[in-house]
C-alpha cells in the first residue's frame, strides 16, 4: 500500500511541496522555575512551523502562511524561518494584534511547564482570505493541525477553506490532531474535528487523540476507531505512542509498527511535530509505508535527544547517525 502526494493531471504542480499555516509564537525558555529568577533563552515555537523547518532540513520545499503581528517577535519568527529555508512570502500581518508568546519552564529532569499568551493574537484573527495567495500558488500536500482549529472561528474557517481547496485540486490532505487542552476541551475538539473525517487523506494522532476525531470516547477499541476513520475515507491512520513507537494502518488492510529509537531523552517538546515532518518527508519521497514510519521515528528521536522545539531536527544527510554505536565520534 503506497500513498503518493499528487496533484490533478489538469493542474501541473508548480508550487511548493507542502503548505502549512498556524500560530507561531515567540518562545521564552528557562532552565528553571521563573519564580526563582531563571534566565530565559529566546526562540520561536509553533507546531506547524516546527513541521515546516523539519521538512526544509530534509530538503523539501515548504511554505508557511501564518499570521503575525507588526512587532519584533514577528521579525524574529520570519528571520528564523527564512534562515531555515522555509518560504514565508505568504505570511500576513495583523497590525492591530500582537504575535503570540509562550514561556516554557524546565522544572525537573525532562518535565516542563508551558504558559501561553495567545488570546487575541494575530494568529487568532486569521481568516480564509489571508491564505488565498498561498492556496492559489499550489502545493502537493496541505498540512493542518487541530491547534489552528482551536484558535477561533476565523482560523477554523481558514482550515476548512484550505482543506476544501486542497481536496478540489487533488492535493494530499494531512491532519495532525495535536490536541491542546488549554485551548479547548475534548468535547469541543471532538465536535469540531469530526467534520473533517471525510476530507483527510492522512490522519496523524497520538493514541489518546484518536477518539477525538473518530467520534467516540471511553471503552471503544482503537481498532474500531481506526476502522471508522478508514471507512470514512482516510487512506492512512498513523498512531503515535511516544516511547512505545508508532503504528500505521492503511485502507488496504496494511499494518506496520515502528519501535521507538532508544536514545537518552533530554526534551520531549516538539517530538510529535518532528515525527510528522519525517512522515511527510517519506510521503513526498514516495517511500514504502514502513519506511515512511521509520523515517518519522528517526526524526522524532533526534528531537527528544536535544533541547528545544525544533533545534534538534536532522538534515537529510544526518538521518543515518542514529545507526552509529553509542559514543561514536563522526570524523
Q: Which three cell numbers stand for residue 228?
A: 471508522
Supply the DSSP symbol for 71.
S
User: CA–CA separation, 44 vs 40, rounded Å?
Assistant: 13
Residue with cell 490532531: 177
What is the SS3 string spanning 251-318? CCCCEEEECCCCCCCCCCCCHHHHHHHHHHHHHHCCCCHHHHHHHHHHHHHHHHCCCCCCCCCCCHHH
CB atoms within 10 A of CB 148: 27
Q: How far is CA 288 from CA 169, 254, 283, 284, 285, in A?
A: 24, 11, 8, 11, 9
Catalytic pick from 207, 273, 285, 291? 273
Q: How far is CA 291 from CA 174, 203, 226, 257, 282, in A?
A: 18, 17, 21, 11, 7
Nearest one of 228, 217, 220 to 188, comparing CA atoms = 217
Q: Would residue 273 show up in a list of annotated catalytic residues for this protein?
A: yes
Q: Which three cell numbers stand for residue 211?
A: 477518539
Nearest one of 27, 15, 18 to 277, comparing CA atoms = 18
List, in sequence order, every residue forming a beta bridge with 247; answer none if it has no partner: 239, 257
Phi first, then psi: what are they for 209, rounded to 5°? -90, -25
Please tell me whether residue 80 adopts helix, strand or coil conformation. helix
In the chain the first and final C-alpha atoms are separated, in Å, by 39
Query: Mind telling me the catalytic residues?
Result: 273
Amino acid at each position: 500500500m503506497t500513498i503518493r502526494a499528487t496533484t490533478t493531471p489538469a493542474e501541473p504542480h508548480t508550487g511548493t511541496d507542502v503548505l502549512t499555516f498556524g500560530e507561531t509564537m515567540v518562545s521564552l525558555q528557562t532552565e528553571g522555575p521563573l519564580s526563582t529568577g531563571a534566565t530565559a533563552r529566546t526562540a520561536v515555537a509553533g507546531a506547524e512551523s516546527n513541521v515546516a523547518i523539519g521538512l526544509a532540513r530534509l530538503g523539501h520545499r515548504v511554505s508557511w502562511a501564518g499570521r503575525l503581528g507588526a512587532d519584533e517577535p514577528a521579525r524574529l519568527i520570519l528571520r528564523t524561518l527564512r534562515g531555515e529555508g522555509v518560504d514565508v512570502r505568504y505570511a500576513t500581518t495583523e497590525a492591530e494584534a500582537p504575535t503570540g508568546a509562550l514561556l516554557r519552564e524546565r522544572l525537573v529532569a525532562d518535565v516542563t511547564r508551558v504558559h501561553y499568551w495567545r488570546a487575541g493574537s494575530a494568529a487568532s484573527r486569521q481568516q480564509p482570505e489571508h491564505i488565498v495567495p498561498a492556496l492559489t500558488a499550489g502545493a502537493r500536500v496541505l498540512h493542518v493541525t487541530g491547534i489552528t482549529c482551536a484558535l477561533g472561528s476565523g482560523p477554523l474557517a481558514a482550515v476548512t477553506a484550505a482543506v476544501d481547496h486542497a481536496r478540489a485540486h487533488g492535493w494530499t490532505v494531512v491532519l495532525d490532531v495535536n490536541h491542546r487542552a488549554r485551548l479547548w476541551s475534548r468535547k469541543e475538539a471532538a465536535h469540531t474535528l469530526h467534520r473533517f473525517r471525510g476530507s483527510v487523506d492522512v490522519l496523524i494522532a497520538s493514541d489518546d487523540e484518536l477518539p477525538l476525531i473518530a467520534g467516540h470516547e471511553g471503552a471503544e477499541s482503537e481498532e474500531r476507531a481506526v476502522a471508522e476513520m478508514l471507512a470514512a475515507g482516510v487512506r492512512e491512520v498513523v498512531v503515535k505512542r511516544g516511547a512505545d513507537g508508532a503504528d500505521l494502518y492503511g485502507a488496504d488492510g496494511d499494518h506496520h509498527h515502528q519501535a521507538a529509537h532508544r536514545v537518552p531523552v533530554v526534551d520531549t517538546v516538539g517530538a510529535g511535530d518532528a515525527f510528522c515532518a519525517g512522515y511527510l518527508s517519506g510521503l513526498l519521497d514516495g517511500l514504502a509505508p514502513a519506511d515512511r514510519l521509520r523515517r518519522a521515528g528517526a526524526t522524532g528521536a533526534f528531537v527528544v535527544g536535544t533541547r528545544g522545539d525544533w533545534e534538534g531536527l536532522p538534515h537529510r544527510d544526518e538521518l543515518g547517525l542514529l545507526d552509529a554505536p553509542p559514543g561514536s565520534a563522526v570524523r
